[in-house]
Amino acid sequence: MDLDAALAVLAEEGAPNYRADQVRQAVSRDFIDSWDEASTLPKGLRTALEERAPIHELVLEEEQRAKDGTVKARFSTSDGFPAEAVLMRSKDRYTVCLSSQSGCALKCAFCATGTMGLGRSLTKGEIYEQLLWAARTARKSDARIRNVVMMGMGEPLQNLDNVLGFCHLANDPDGFGLGARSIAISTAGWLPGIDALIEEPMQVKLAISLHAPDDVLRTELMPVNKRYPIAELMKTLKRYRTATRRRVYVEYLLLDQVNDRVEQAERLADLLHEHLPGGHHVNLIWYNPTGSGLNASAPERVERFQAILEKRRIPFTLRRSKGSDIDAACGQLAVKGAAAAARAAKRAERETA
Ligand code: SF4
């Protein structure tokens, strides 16, 4: 949903200023599914909006529901690129996980999205439309979206302008009205993006996918580490923490016999005490196998890892991913055949250029 395009239509049609508020209300508060539902607008304006700024830029291809109530939506952009969003319920809170790109260039070893390669970055309107889908879906259960995490397909900091543009839309008090601290941007460690976030006045949360406390293993799991090794990453995070005073959330997937050893838990604690004293929170994540050959840590190894963090006074939460039976859990988003679709769309673009 391109709200800027809708506001431009109002200007082109010479509509009075108050129509802009009505449009924002209809899109971001009433979550209309078509301009016909915007009953406060005159028919002629609704037709102009339908033609020049349609509510749906994305096509909803499929919705799947997991046993735990998680809902995954698969969308297609108008030029044929797939994107997925996942709506998760925990007690009375709804969280939505959004995609910032179709596919991803960073190829982390544990992640299904990485196997797709990068299709293209999504626009802020395409990201916002995923949130509007989630809000409509949650409303069917009389619920609202409480949190947004940019942890779906893609590396958000490689698409920073659109991601921040989306955050401003979601945060707009006259629009969707989500608190900035209810939005988390998760990065694999794209340092120019973290530096740019230091300058960003909006108080969004930053989560860093660390997953290994040493360079050899991290590079194996996350090739981006070759470009931006742990020492550089920690220096940048320290700068971010010093400048913003915001806490850094550290994501750590527990992979059996790979990164769940005693010495690795100790090394993780050393890193955080040294570089982010008093300014970190670790999210330990139960891994959902993606056919990568990696497995979830055995329960006793998870317990041992937690015990070390506890002893070292590292604040942490153990998270179980939701929706694993519909491939909606962390690291599982990948549209089958998506890489082929992306290549076909690019080929078509070249042929028509
Ligand atoms: S984990 Fe994130 S950064 Fe890594 S390949 Fe998957 S989507 Fe990309």
104 lines ligand 1 (CB under 6 A): yes
Statement to judge: residues 92 and 49 lie in one domain? no
Single residue among 55, 77, 98 that ends a domain in this structure: 55
If we measure between CA atoms, which residue out of 167, 171, 201, 169 comes closest to residue 185? 167
Counting ligand 1 atoms within 8 A of each CB, the residue from 108, 157, 163 with the most, and so the one to mutate, is 108
Q: How many helices, marked H, and strands, marked E, lie in the chain?
A: 12, 12
Task: Let me know if 37 is a catalytic residue.
Answer: no
% of the chain at pLDDT higher than 70: 91
For the stretch 113-165, pLDDT in tens is 888 899 999 999 999 999 999 999 999 988 999 999 999 999 999 999 999 99
What single string gives the DSSP state of each residue in 248-299? Answer: EEEEEEEBTTTT-SHHHHHHHHHHHHHHSTT-EEEEEEE----SSS--BPPH
SS3 state at 40 = coil
Q: What pLDDT shows up at residue 293?
A: 84
Please report where in the chains the tokens 């830029």 appear, as a residue. Answer: 57
Residue 337 has pLDDT above 70, yes or no: no
β-bridge mates for residue 93, sequence order? 90
SS3 state at 302 = helix
Q: Which residues contact 79 (CB under 8 A, 6 or more apart)?
A: 120, 345, 349
Residue 347 has pLDDT above 70, yes or no: no
Statement to judge: residues 67 and 102 lie in one domain? yes
275 Cα–ligand 1 center, Å: 24
Statement to judge: residues 35 and 171 lie in one domain? no
Statement to judge: residues 299 and 208 lie in one domain? yes
Statement to judge: residues 230 and 267 lie in one domain? yes
SS3 state at 119 = strand
Q: 20 exposed, middle or buried (CB, 10 Å; 0-12, 13-18, 19+)?
A: middle
Average pLDDT over the chain reads: 91
**Confidence tier at 325 by pLDDT (50, 70, 90):** low
Statement to judge: residues 267 and 336 lie in one domain? yes
Q: What pLDDT shows up at residue 292?
A: 76
Whole-model pTM: value is 0.91
Counting ligand 1 atoms within 8 A of each CB, the residue from 104, 158, 225, 327 with the most, and so the one to mutate, is 104
- Residue 328 has what DSSP assignment? -
Q: What is the mean pLDDT of residues 324-336?
A: 56
Residue 73 has pLDDT above 50, yes or no: yes
Single residue among 39, 55, 71 that ends a domain in this structure: 55
Cβ atoms within 10 A of the Cβ of 33, count?
A: 12
Tokens of 16: 């009075």
60 Cα–ligand 1 center, Å: 23
CA 135 – CA 125 distance, rounded (Å): 15
Statement to judge: residues 14 and 106 lie in one domain? no
281 lines ligand 1 (CB under 6 A): no
Say which CATH number the domain at 32 has. 1.10.150.530
Statement to judge: residues 176 and 234 lie in one domain? yes
Statement to judge: residues 20 and 116 lie in one domain? no
Q: What is the mean pLDDT of residues 67-88?
A: 94
**Confidence tier at 326 by pLDDT (50, 70, 90):** low
% of the chain at pLDDT higher than 90: 81
Residue 241 has pLDDT above 50, yes or no: yes
Q: What is the mean pLDDT of residues 231-239?
A: 98
Q: Which atom of ligand 1 lies nearest, measured to the CA of 154?
A: 7
Q: What pLDDT shows up at residue 345?
A: 46
CA 182 – CA 179 distance, rounded (Å): 5
SS3 state at 37 = helix
Return the ∠ at Cα 133 (arms to 328 and 194), rounded to 5°: 65
Give the total number of structural domains in the chain: 2
- In terms of pLDDT, which residue wins out, 326 or 153? 153
Catalytic residue among 12, 13, 84, 129: 84
**Confidence tier at 299 by pLDDT (50, 70, 90):** very high
If we measure between CA atoms, which residue out of 222, 63, 230 comes closest to residue 155? 222
First vs last C-alpha separation in the chain: 26
188 lines ligand 1 (CB under 6 A): yes
**Confidence tier at 93 by pLDDT (50, 70, 90):** confident
Name the maximum alpha-carbon separation found in the chain.
Answer: 68
SS3 state at 186 = strand
Statement to judge: residues 44 and 70 lie in one domain? no
Task: Let me know if 84 is a catalytic residue.
Answer: yes
Statement to judge: residues 4 and 147 lie in one domain? no
Say which CATH number the domain at 91 has. 3.20.20.70
85 lines ligand 1 (CB under 6 A): no
Q: What pLDDT shows up at residue 342?
A: 44
For the stretch 209-228, pLDDT in tens is 999 999 999 999 999 999 99
Instruction: Give CA separation, 140 vs 143, 144, 190, 250, in Å.
Output: 7, 10, 37, 33
CA 123 – CA 163 distance, rounded (Å): 8
For the stretch 177-208, pLDDT in tens is 999 999 999 999 999 999 999 999 999 999 99
Residue-range definition of the domain harbouring residue 187: 58-352
Q: Which atom of ligand 1 lies nearest, measured to the CA of 111?
A: 6
Q: Which atom of ligand 1 lies nearest, measured to the CA of 114?
A: 5
Residue 37 has pLDDT above 50, yes or no: yes
Q: What is the mean pLDDT of residues 326-346?
A: 50
**Confidence tier at 89 by pLDDT (50, 70, 90):** confident
Q: 36 exposed, middle or buried (CB, 10 Å; 0-12, 13-18, 19+)?
A: middle
Statement to judge: residues 268 and 184 lie in one domain? yes
106 lines ligand 1 (CB under 6 A): yes
Of all protein residues, whose CA lies closest to atom 5 belonging to ligand 1?
114
Single residue among 18, 38, 55 that ends a domain in this structure: 55
